[in-house]
Amino acid sequence: MITDESHLREKTFSDFPVFLAKKPLGLRQKNNQKNINNLNSQKDMENQVTDILKQAILMENRGKSLYQMVAAQTPSAEVKNIFQTMADEEQMHIEFLRKQFAFYQKNKSFDLNQLEAAAEEDAIANSILTEKIKQDISGAGFEAAAISAAIDMENKSIEVYEKRAKESTDANEKELYQFLADWEKGHHKLLLELNKQLTEKVWYDNNFWPF
């Protein structure tokens, strides 16, 4: 008589239901969704960075166009030099931002080695408003209107850069945008001083001062 003793052998792990060896379907779905959410969050952050860089390049282009227009139309050689210098610096900003954009697209990070080189090229911060420049700019003329518009543009640029520097959680990105904000402050300071001198000139020329 043959006896089936297969039931007496030691059970192995493979004898248990397959679902015990696998993660529950619900847990796997949750993990997959978590991974998808993380990828989406990272993608959103990258898109936000590139959008800010695009906006920055656009703002610098607008500033450059305005400064070039003033330089082309003013009859004063010294005023032309001031505004052409600012236009040239805006072009440097544009090239700097384009390089950062390309670097970020490739590496998902910023190249801070460019900051030192860019900082050394900031010529406008050392510009001196000579009496000739102050005299050549008419308080009621084209240059005065352009200066007022330029102040508004520089204010907007500084606001955008400082806001991004404050919001970013990436140390390199913070440094980049704070650097750009400080760079624009050089133009802003010069424009404010020009505007102040123009205002005083108009008041003196028209005897508006009460004393």
Give the burial class of 59: count Cβ atoms within 10 A of its Cβ; 0-12 exposed, 13-18 middle, 19 or more buried.
buried
- Asked if the 31-205 domain carries CATH number 1.10.150.120, the reply is no
Helices (H), the chain: 25-73, 77-107, 113-119, 131-136, 142-167, 171-205
For the record, the structure tokens of 121 come out as 């090229």
Question: Which of these, 184, 157, 182, 172, lies nearest to 49 by C-alpha position?
Answer: 172
pLDDT tens digits for range 68-101: 999 999 888 888 888 898 899 899 889 989 999 9
Average pLDDT score over residue span 63-71? 93
Query: Taking the complete model, does pTM exceed 0.75, yes or no?
Result: no
More confident residue, 9 or 98: 98
Q: In this structure, what token pair is assigned to residue 80?
A: 């032309």
Average pLDDT in the chain: 76
How many CA atoms within 13 Å lie on the side-chain side of 96?
A: 24
Domain map (residue ranges) of the chain: 31-205
